[in-house]
Amino acid sequence: MLDNRKIKSALLSVFCKEGLDEVVQYLSNNGVKIYSTGGTLSFIEELGASAQSVENLTGYPSILGGRVKTLHPKVFGGILARRDNPDDSKQLEQYEIPEVDLVIVDLYPFEKTLSSGASDAEIIEKIDIGGISLIRAAAKNYSDVAVVASRRQYAELLSMLKENNGGTTLANRKRLATQAFDVSSHYDSAIFSYFNRSERILSFKQSLHGATVLRYGENPHQKAVFYGNFASTFEQLHGKEISYNNLLDIDAAVRLIRDFDEPTFAILKHNNACGAASRPALLQAWTAALAGDPVSAFGGVLVCNRELDSATAEEVSKLFCEVVIAPAYSDEGLAILKQKKNRIILASKPFEPPMMQSRTLLNGMVMQEQDLWVETEKNMTFVTTARPTAEQVQDLIFANKLVKHSKSNAIVLAKDRQLVASGVGQTSRVDALRHAIEKAASFGFSLQGAVMASDAFFPFPDCVEIAHKAGIAAVIHPGGSVNDQKSVDYCNANGVAMVTTGVRHFKH
């Protein structure tokens, strides 16, 4: 096995020609024999370079509307032949098969066609057969053959050839082969996912191009990488490099704010809302959200669902925060926020998050549908004699949205569409409630007339009793406990309004 191999012959069959011209000119200038097909052949000839058609090599025309062009022993034999194997060399000579040292492919744009809303017939025609076969064959025989599997590698190949005087090293070829299998596996995963939308075969395959190495993971001693296209969901307008923990909070913030239609501001710490409010104007929402817990807000992630104006930015800028997220910023508002060098400022773009979420555990992983359910008044069952007022119904809806996005066990106390306090991530629902009540008192909030939301049912009436004695006037929870009636009885005896939704919102 020779390490450095001079490129003497190349097969080019690409969909995208952009950036290929420099590669073609280099190969032609260095006397490389070029084989090509269809549109790629025409492109090469228009550049003034010479190439032999694959049809001429194989003695067969392109058939079946172009579905079969390169699938022939005279093509694949020259790619797969082991140069240090005497029997392979004899067979190449016997069947007059030329060796191919370099294969350049760019596949049909299956994913782009799929996302364009094309018909099934059009999508099917964009499943590349010959190209993917060429990639796999060349990558398998990387000891002798170099392979380029995507237009993203044209420049890398050209640089590689220039560095090695028109050749490639074994290390070069192995790297190219690895990239090739990355391309082919991603391509096949996309095709499988397309077909599996209706079949629902229980097999998990996901492939994401694009990776960002993060400074570290949840803690400095942990390495971390983000796989995905962050730029398709946000435009970073200012600030330092985004960290692993920033990404977790940004994800939590975006999921929460999507549930609100009215002007809303939320402040998150460790994926939980520590402040949130909905108001007619964004500045009012910010002021009320911050008042909910000005201590925890320090160093938090801020998110809103309206353009962030200069007046609001002026107030926001008084708080040290890691990240600010808004759909847009006024010029003056952005300039104010940029005064802090490291503050991450993100403009959110319209995007649909994945319908499924996954988590690694034990020696595998679990998948589930996203919790996208949002309760409205129509989903409420009024189970007590006392009914919540119209204002309390709005507060119950507001509180229930927040508790849905809080770590279980979770209790949220709200009043006038403002997060008054919450107890999250507790092993006991009673502890979560007591923590919320104590927190509300520490910031001077009166709970008289406030509402309580719970992410799960109350197994005993102790929570509604504690809440009532603290001033809570209305309660929303899923219901479903065998002891539901005991909580209802306590509420009826004490004039507390209770509604159930039938939907639990555990979040672990």
pLDDT along the chain (508 residues), means of 10: 82 91 92 91 91 84 78 89 92 91 92 88 89 94 94 92 92 95 92 85 81 92 93 94 95 96 97 97 98 95 97 96 97 96 95 86 90 93 97 98 96 98 95 96 96 95 96 97 95 97 94
pLDDT of res. 2: 52
CB-based contacts of 364, cutoff 8 Å, min separation 6: none
Amino acid, single-letter form, for residue 105: V
The answer, yes or no, to whether the previous bond of 409 is cis (omega within 30 of 0) is yes
pLDDT of res. 265: 98
Torsion of CA 408, 413, 418, 424, to 10 degrees: -20
* Residues labelled as active-site residues: 140, 270
Q: How far is CA 121 from CA 12, 118, 409, in A?
A: 27, 8, 49
Q: Please indicate, yes or no, whether the overall pTM of this predicted structure exceeds 0.95.
A: no
Torsion of CA 280, 307, 323, 315, to 10 degrees: -60
C-alpha to C-alpha distance for 298 and 438, rounded to whole angstroms? 20
C-alpha to C-alpha distance for 453 and 463, rounded to whole angstroms? 11
Tell me the Ramachandran region of residue 480: left when phi exceeds 0, alpha when psi lies from -120 to 50, beta otherwise: left
pLDDT of res. 53: 87
